[in-house]
Structure 1
C-alpha cells in the first residue's frame, strides 16, 4: 500500500521534528482558552510559506488534531473549555477533577483522543472514495435537520431541568440572530454599534464559561475558602489505558458519531462531542451519573471530537469541501502551496498526500505520549492560589477575545455575557445550552433559508424538508431525542420522590 511506501518520509529528520514540535505547541495552544484550533492553524499558516508543501501540511495537520485534544486540559482543570469542541468534556471532566480524579480524567482525555483520532485517520485513508458520496448527499435540508438534532440535546445539557435547558438554549439561539440576516442582509436586534458584527462564538464561549469562574474564584479568595482546590491522585498510566479501552460502548459511539459529523461539511467538533456525549448518556444504564464525574462522558466526547478531525478532511481533500471550520483554514494552506483538492492530489502529488496522511496517523500516537506526560504537571495549575488564578484567567479571557478580530466590541460582549451568566447560575441555568444555541442557531437558520429558496423550485418547502431517506432518519432521531430527554427527567424525579418517601417512612418508624 502507498501509505507504507511513504511512511519512512514521515519519520525522516525534519518531518519528525515538525511532528514533535507541532504536537507540543498544539497541546499548549489548545489548553489556552480562546485559542481555538481554527485560530491556531490560521496563526501558523505564515510559518509554512518558506517550507516545502509536505512539511507545511504536516505542521498544520498536526496542529489541528493536537489543539482539539489540548482544549480538554483547561476544561477539566478550571472548568473553561479550551475550544468549543471541548464543551462536552467539561461536563464530567471537571466534576472528576473536583473529586480528586484530575489525573485520571486527563488520562482518559488523551487516550480517547488518540483512539478516536486513529479511527478518523484510518477512515480518511481507506474509505475516502466511498464516503465522498455520503458527504455530497447532505444538502441544506439535511444540514438543517442535523443542526436541529444537535439542538434537541439542549434540554439535558448540564441544566437542573429540561425546561431551564430549553430556555437557555432558546436564549443562545436568539443571541445568534443578532447582527445581519445571512441571506437578506437586514439588521436584527442591533441596539448598539457594538452588536453590528453580531456575537461570534469565541467571545461568547469565553464570556459564558471563563467570567463566571473568575467571579467565583474572587469570591472564594475574599472569603478565605479553598473552594475547588483539589488534589491530584497518583494514577498509573497502564490502569487508565486498560480502563479506557474497556469502555467499548463510549469509544464506539464517540468514534462513529465523530466520523459521521466530520464528513458533514461545516459541522465541526463541537457538534460531534455534544451529540456523542448525549447518545452515550442515553445508552448508559447509569445515565444519572453523567454530569457528576462519569468517565464515559469524557471518553465519548474526546473520542468524538478527534475522530472528527480525520473524517473532516475526506471531503476537503477529495472535493475541496471542508468538513469543519478548521479544515477550511487548512484548505487555504493547501492552496497556498499550489495544491488543489481532487483526484489529481492522489496521483500527481501522491508523495505529498500520502506523507501528510501518514503524519496524521503518527501524530495520534505522539498526542497520547506527550498528552500523558503533560498531565503530570497539571498539579501545578491546581495549586495556584485563587486570586492569582482569577487574574490569569481574566487576562487570558480579554487577550483571547480581542485577538480574534482585534475588536474592543468583542471584549464588551464577552464581559456582558459573562456577568449575565454568573447571575443566571444562581437560578440553576447552565452555560452549555446557551453556547450550543449560539453554535447551532446560524447553521440551522442559514440552511433553512437556503433550502427554502431551493424548495420554491422543487414543489414546496414541506416536500423539500420532510422527504428523503436522510431527512426522515434525522427527523426520527430528533423526535426520539426529545422524547427520551422528557422521559429521563420524569424518571429521575420519580426516583427522587421514591427515595424521599422511603426516608420519610424510615424516620417515622
Structure 2
C-alpha cells in the first residue's frame, strides 16, 4: 500500500474526496461513480485504493458545506447541520470543522477495524435481517422524527409524514402504478439530493435576500481562532457522544439496504436523549457534531461487510464499488479473501490509512474554510443559490431536479415560519421507500407462509425492534411533557 503509485492514488483520492464531498450535490455515490472510468487502466488494487479513499473522505467532506453553508454535502451529513451551522454563525466554524474531522477519523478507524477483525461474524449477523426486520428498522427511524430538531413532537411527526408522502411520488416499484405525477419532472420521483439542497439551502437563501443590504444586517461574523489541541481535548472530554455515534453508525452501516444516511440522524437523536445537556442541542452544541460525524464515518467499514463476504451491496455506494470490482474481473464473496487476498486486504488497509490522511488534511483546511463566515450575507446568498442550482442540475443533468429543488425550498421556507423543521421531513423522505418496499415484500412472503401476524410480530428480533419503537415514542412524548411542565413552572414562579 505504501508503494509510490498506490500511496499517490490514496492521497489523490483523499484530497479529491474532501473537495467533492464539500460540493453540494456530489454525494459519495456520485463521487465514486465519477472516478470509476479513471480506474480502467490501473491495476485492480490501485483502482480500489482510489475508490475507497474517495468514499471515506467524501462522507467526511460533506461536513464542510453542512457546517459553513447549511447545505449537507450528502444525506449522511444532515444531522451535522443542526448544531454545526449554528456554531459557524457564532464564529466557531473552525472549532466545528476540527471536531467533525476528528470525530470522523475516530469513528472511521473503528469502523474499518470492525471490518478487518469481525467480517465473518458480522456477515452472518447481517444476513439475518429479512424484510420484516428492515421494515421495523425503518419505522424505528420514523419514531426518531418526533424529537429531531423540533420544539414539538407533533410538528416533528407531521414534518416526517410530509416526507413520507413525498417519498410516494413517482412510480410504484412493485406494481408500476403512477402516483402523484402532476408534472413531468416528477416522473422518476423526488431525488433525495435535490430535495436535500432545496429543503436546507433555499429557505436560508430567501431569508438572506430578505435582509437585503441594510447596515445593521450586514455585519461580518468575527471568526474565532481555535487550536487543534483544544479540539483534541474536547473530543476526549466527550466520550459519550463519540461512543454513541460510533456504535450507532457501525450497527446501521452493517444492515443491508438501510443506508448510512440515517446513521447520523439516529446517532444525533440518541446522543441528545442520553445527554444531561439536551437543551443545548440545536443551539450550537459540540456533542451534536461529534455524534453525527462519528456515526456517518463509522458506517463506512461495516457497510462493506455484506459486499465483500456475501456479494450483497449494503448501500448505493457499495453497489457502485461492486461495479468497480466486477470491471476488474474480481467477484466478491466467500472466496474473495482466498483467491485475491492481496487485493482485498490492501483495499481494506488503504481505507484505514485513508481515515488518518483525511483527518490530517481536514484539520489543515478547517481554519481556512471557516473564513467563509466572513463573507457578507447578501454575497453569500448569491453564492449559495448558485451552488444549489449547480448541485441540483448536476445530479442527472436535468432542469426537472432544479424545479423540484426550488419548489421544495419555497415550501420549506413557509413551513419553517410555523415551527416545522427540514430534518424530520428529509428523514421521512429517506425512510419512506425503505419501509414501503420491505412491507410489500414481507406481505408477499407472509401470505405464502405463516401469515401477516406471525411474520411481522413473531420472532425475537421483531419483538425487540417493536419494543424499541414503543420506547422511543414514549420517551419523546415524556420529554416534551416534562419540558412543558418546566416552562409552565418558570412562568408561574419566575
1:451-466 → structure 2 map (5 Å cutoff): 451-466=442-457
SS of residue in 2 equivalent to 1:71: helix
1:282 aligns with 2:273: yes
1:442 — aligned with what? 433
Counterparts of 2:219 and 2:466, CA distance in 1: 42
Out of 458-467 and 357-366, give the one that drifted further: 458-467
Out of 382-391 and 329-338, give the one that drifted further: 382-391
Which one of 375, 384, 389 corresponds to residue 393 of structure 1?
Answer: 384
Instruction: State whether residues 98 and 228 of structure 1, in contact with CA within 8 Å, keep that contact through their aligned partners in structure 2.
Output: no
1:172 — aligned with what? 163
Q: How big is the shift at 1:291?
A: 1.0
1:475 — aligned with what? 466
1:30 — aligned with what? 21
Q: How big is the shift at 1:227?
A: 6.0
2:68 — aligned with what? 77
2:289 — aligned with what? 298
CA-based RMSD of the aligned residues comes to 1.3
Residue deviations 1:20-71 (CA, integer Å, cap 9, x gap): 1111111111111111111111111111111110110011111111011111
Q: How big is the shift at 1:190?
A: 1.5
1:154 aligns with 2:145: yes
SS of residue in 1 equivalent to 2:212: helix
Q: How big is the shift at 1:225?
A: 4.4
Counterparts of 1:228 and 1:210, CA distance in 2: 21
Counterparts of 1:287 and 1:380, CA distance in 2: 29
1:378 — aligned with what? 369
2:419 — aligned with what? 428
Structure 2 CA distance for partners of 1:218 and 1:224, relative to 1, 3 Å: farther
Which one of 302, 305, 321 corresponds to residue 314 of structure 1?
Answer: 305
Instruction: State whether residues 52 and 351 of structure 2, in contact with CA within 8 Å, keep that contact through their aligned partners in structure 1.
Output: yes
1:4 — aligned with what? none
Q: How big is the shift at 1:228?
A: 8.3
Q: How big is the shift at 1:400?
A: 1.3
Instruction: State whether residues 78 and 423 of structure 2, in contact with CA within 8 Å, keep that contact through their aligned partners in structure 1.
Output: yes
Q: With structure 2 as the length reference, what TM-score do the two structures score?
A: 0.98
Structure 1, unpaired ranges of 5+: 1-9, 504-509
1:233 — aligned with what? 224
1:99-498 → structure 2 map (5 Å cutoff): 99-226=90-217, 229-498=220-489
Out of 309-318 and 191-200, give the one that drifted further: 191-200
Counterparts of 2:489 and 2:326, CA distance in 1: 62
Instruction: State whether residues 207 and 414 of structure 1, in contact with CA within 8 Å, keep that contact through their aligned partners in structure 2.
Output: yes
Q: How big is the shift at 1:192?
A: 2.2
Q: How big is the shift at 1:386?
A: 2.1
Instruction: State whether residues 103 and 235 of structure 1, in contact with CA within 8 Å, keep that contact through their aligned partners in structure 2.
Output: yes
Instruction: State whether residues 153 and 481 of structure 1, in contact with CA within 8 Å, keep that contact through their aligned partners in structure 2.
Output: yes
Counterparts of 1:484 and 1:99, CA distance in 2: 31
Q: How big is the shift at 1:132?
A: 0.5
Counterparts of 1:224 and 1:339, CA distance in 2: 62
Residue deviations 1:339-385 (CA, integer Å, cap 9, x gap): 11113211111111111111011011101100001102113311222
Structure 2 CA distance for partners of 1:427 and 1:56, relative to 1, 3 Å: same
Instruction: State whether residues 65 and 306 of structure 1, in contact with CA within 8 Å, keep that contact through their aligned partners in structure 2.
Output: yes
Q: How big is the shift at 1:473?
A: 1.2
Instruction: State whether residues 306 and 314 of structure 2, in contact with CA within 8 Å, keep that contact through their aligned partners in structure 1.
Output: yes
Counterparts of 1:456 and 1:351, CA distance in 2: 46
Q: With structure 1 as the length reference, what TM-score do the two structures score?
A: 0.95
1:12 — aligned with what? 3
Q: How big is the shift at 1:396?
A: 1.6
Out of 75-84 and 376-385, give the one that drifted further: 376-385
SS of residue in 2 equivalent to 1:347: helix
Structure 2, unpaired ranges of 5+: none
Q: How big is the shift at 1:239?
A: 1.5
Counterparts of 1:376 and 1:16, CA distance in 2: 26
Instruction: State whether residues 231 and 379 of structure 1, in contact with CA within 8 Å, keep that contact through their aligned partners in structure 2.
Output: no
Instruction: State whether residues 115 and 302 of structure 2, in contact with CA within 8 Å, keep that contact through their aligned partners in structure 1.
Output: yes
